[in-house]
Amino acid sequence: MDIKELGPIGAELTDIDLKSLSNEDMARIKIYFLDHSVIVFKNQNLNPQDLKNISKLWGEALVHPVFKGIEGHPEILEIKNLGEKYHTNAHWHSDVTFEECPPDATLLYSLEVPEKGGDTLFSCQHLAYDELDTDLKSLLSEKLAIHSNIGVLLLSGGDPNNAKTVEHPIFREHPETGKKALYVTEAFVKSIKDIDSRESQRILEILYKHASKKEYIYRHKWSNGDLVVWDNRSVQHYAEHGYGDQTRTMHRLTTSGSKPF
């Protein structure tokens, strides 16, 4: 197994068959994952069961709390192109932060992708925290953000009266590395607890803009058979469109996590 660093975040692991991993391979993958937050495996040939088997490196495969998985594999969501009008991931976010224990890792596998468009961008929230204004860090050091699932409920045709909220620290400590990360996402955060609503929104806009600075980003151009795995505790991602009505089919799953602290 060889490794190639991809930028301020991310690494590509080459000369590896994910369906035939030794114990040494698995240990090295886990280390690289913590070191680089995003890891890329190219030229893989994975069926849904293979994907679930590989996900065990990071935890138990989860069933999405809102969207329905594919037949026979409820943990796996199939993401297909329905046209730019219905593209829902064109915003920076971490996955499923509206749960008490958001997933640790997300796995995204490309079955068929267009020649142009459809890149996914990944932003390192450890860097975002490290380089945040010190006064803002001090102000928000003990503050909680209020996350809600109302957006995905509306998107899926659910009842907004069933919306729920959870509170997570604005700065999250990684349970395995001890590093701090900025942990607010425009998709799910509604406000900062115990701060006036207008001031809360002003601060959140600053944090959102800071979280996606180009200096923190790796851009992934997809090829068929790519598997990208990222650390949902310290990474935000953004799915671009720009491929019209061309076919783009992906399989996605997330793994079990723990309550942020």
Catalytic residue ranges:
93, 95, 237, 252
Query: Amino acid identity of 88?
Result: T
- Residue 142: helix, strand or coil by DSSP? coil
Q: Which residue spans within the chain are E strands per DSSP?
A: 2-5, 11-14, 38-41, 77-80, 105-112, 120-124, 144-148, 165-169, 171-173, 180-182, 189-192, 217-220, 227-231, 235-239, 249-254
- Token pair, residue 179, equals 């590093």
C-alpha closest to that of 126 among 213, 256, 6: 213
As to burial, measured by CB atoms within 10 angstroms (0-12 exposed, 13-18 middle, 19+ buried), residue 77 is buried
In angstroms, the CA 152 to CA 220 distance is: 25
